[in-house]
Amino acid sequence: MSGHASNEMNTAPAWGGKVSPFRVSYGKLMMWFFLVSDALTFGGLLVAYGYTRYTFDGQWPIGEETFEALPFLGNGYPLMYVALMTFILIVSSVTMVLAVEAGHRMDKKGVIKWMLATIIGGFFFLGSQAWEWSHFIHGTHFGRVELEDGSSAIVKGHFGEIESFEVIEPGAHSPAAGELITNDNISAEEGDLMHAFQHAAVAGHLEGEAGNLKIHLHDGTVAKVNKKADKNLQLLIKEPGTKYAVSLPSDESTRISEEEGSVNMYYAALTKGDVIYGANMEQNEYGPQQYGQFFFFITGFHGFHVFSGVVINIIIFLGVLKGIYHKRGHYEMVEKTGLYWHFVDLVWVFVFTFFYLI
């Protein structure tokens, strides 16, 4: 291309708007400028995240401890789900660039095929993010507890399943004393056993100790909780109290193990109602309040970009189907929406590293 520069240029049409600056079309240039400004927004958000994280140091949640669940498979798969989401977005970026390539060959069928794949990939990513948000908001089975010395701990281990509530004193909607409340006959107000259990824990409506818990339900029922024993329950101190210091992620001996009485400490906190499950705008079980807000805002703002990207892709896809761009003689619109779509992938690459990995 450098050969062109030495050509004698006719400058007359340059002032008539006939020469594109930088040899790109107006639309593409403006898309690039928009992407730069959008990148500044995300850059600002991630730097703000880094700033806040620095100021909290050890209390900040750790990616591989926080995000370790998979749909249907449960816990214990650190970062696998986010890796899957990253892979989905990379693949949909690839199908987009293949659509652009097909457009360069004026291969309408190719453009249709690859754009459709891109849109499907976009929906897959949005679905994954919905699941992740739902998981983040509902939280873990254990939650986060405040211990007697004022320290605050998250819990690792396997939560023993709640099998039933055995009615001791019947309430307004419950079966008779001695009967069992299971997920099949529990009232709609309570939802399911796990939900009722967590709700009672937060409200301070649990009493007793591990293996012998009594629950007070909404309708006045008092019942014994039939629950399997938890396995390998460990407390990871996140905020120090008068007795316990913050657990180091690199050293498992700084956690409180079952031998050191983690089970009793956990259920003591649970029966006092000193527990937080999941996340909302005020508090979350994972770490400082700002952590939840950054999670919601950064992944939410990115997710909104993905959503609008899918919408724009669909609009352009309809144009391709109608043959608008084929008639026009070039598929530059596919290229422009492609730029936006790749940018969404690009942002996720950085979010993945700075939010989840580091």
For other proteins, the binding residues in 268-327 under the rule CB under 8 A are: none
**Among residues 70, 94, 120, 268, the one that binds other proteins under rule CB under 8 A:** 94
Sign of CA dihedral 137, 140, 141, 146: negative
Task: Identify which of residues 125 and 343 has a Cβ nearer to other proteins in the complex.
Answer: 343
Task: Identify which of residues 184 and 251 has a Cβ nearer to other proteins in the complex.
Answer: 251
Question: Which is nearest to 132 in space by CA: 342, 296, 3?
Answer: 296
Q: How far is the CB of 304 from other proteins (least distance, A)?
A: 20
Asked if residue 30 binds other proteins (CB under 8 A), the reply is no
**Among residues 176, 188, 242, 250, the one that binds other proteins under rule CB under 8 A:** 250
**Among residues 34, 43, 283, 318, the one that binds other proteins under rule CB under 8 A:** 43
Task: Identify which of residues 87 and 304 has a Cβ nearer to other proteins in the complex.
Answer: 87
**Among residues 201, 310, 332, 337, the one that binds other proteins under rule CB under 8 A:** 332
- Contact segment (CB under 8 A) with other proteins among 49-57, 203-211, 255-263, 300-308 equals 49-57
- Contact segment (CB under 8 A) with other proteins among 138-146, 178-186, 278-286, 340-348 equals 340-348
105-164: which residues touch other proteins (CB under 8 A)? 105-106
Is 161 within 8 Å of 178 (Cβ atoms)? no
Asked if residue 41 binds other proteins (CB under 8 A), the reply is no
**Among residues 70, 97, 116, 268, the one that binds other proteins under rule CB under 8 A:** 97
Q: Which tokens in the block code for residue 15?
A: 């002032």
CA 309, CA 265: separation in Å to the nearest integer? 48
Asked if residue 355 binds other proteins (CB under 8 A), the reply is no
**Among residues 47, 168, 177, 245, the one that binds other proteins under rule CB under 8 A:** 47
- Contact segment (CB under 8 A) with other proteins among 97-105, 133-141, 169-177, 313-321 equals 97-105
Site size with other proteins, rule: CB under 8 A: 74
**Among residues 34, 41, 55, 130, the one that binds other proteins under rule CB under 8 A:** 55
- Contact segment (CB under 8 A) with other proteins among 19-27, 130-138, 216-224, 287-295 equals 19-27
Task: Identify which of residues 128 and 198 has a Cβ nearer to other proteins in the complex.
Answer: 128
What does the DSSP 8-state code read for residue 284?
B
Q: In Å, how far are 32, 33, 306 from 41, measured between CA atoms?
A: 14, 13, 15
Q: How far apart are the first and last CA of the chain?
A: 42
Please report, as a single letter, which amino acid is at residue 207: E
Q: Which tokens in the block code for residue 146?
A: 């405040």
Q: How far is the CB of 50 from other proteins (least distance, A)?
A: 6
Contacts of 336 (CB under 8 A, 6+ apart): 27, 28, 31
Task: Identify which of residues 79 and 202 has a Cβ nearer to other proteins in the complex.
Answer: 79
Q: How far is the CB of 301 from other proteins (least distance, A)?
A: 17
What does the DSSP 8-state code read for residue 130?
H
67-86: which residues touch other proteins (CB under 8 A)? 78-80, 82-83, 86
Is 96 within 8 Å of 113 (Cβ atoms)? no
Asked if residue 358 binds other proteins (CB under 8 A), the reply is yes
Neighbour count for residue 50 (Cβ, 10 Å): 12
How far from the centroid of its chain's Cα atoms is residue 287's Cα? 15
- Among the residues of 193-331, which ranges form H helices? 193-203, 262-272, 289-294, 300-322, 324-328
Burial classification of residue 158, based on how many CB atoms lie within 10 Å of its CB (0-12 exposed, 13-18 middle, 19 or more buried)? middle
Q: How far is the CB of 125 from other proteins (least distance, A)?
A: 14
CA 105, CA 31: separation in Å to the nearest integer? 23
- Contact segment (CB under 8 A) with other proteins among 51-59, 163-171, 279-287, 289-297 equals 51-59
Residue in this structure with the two tokens 């079309």, named with its chain if needed:
25
CA 127, CA 293: separation in Å to the nearest integer? 21
Task: Identify which of residues 83 and 117 has a Cβ nearer to other proteins in the complex.
Answer: 83
| The pairing of beta strand 152-158 with beta strand 231-239 | antiparallel
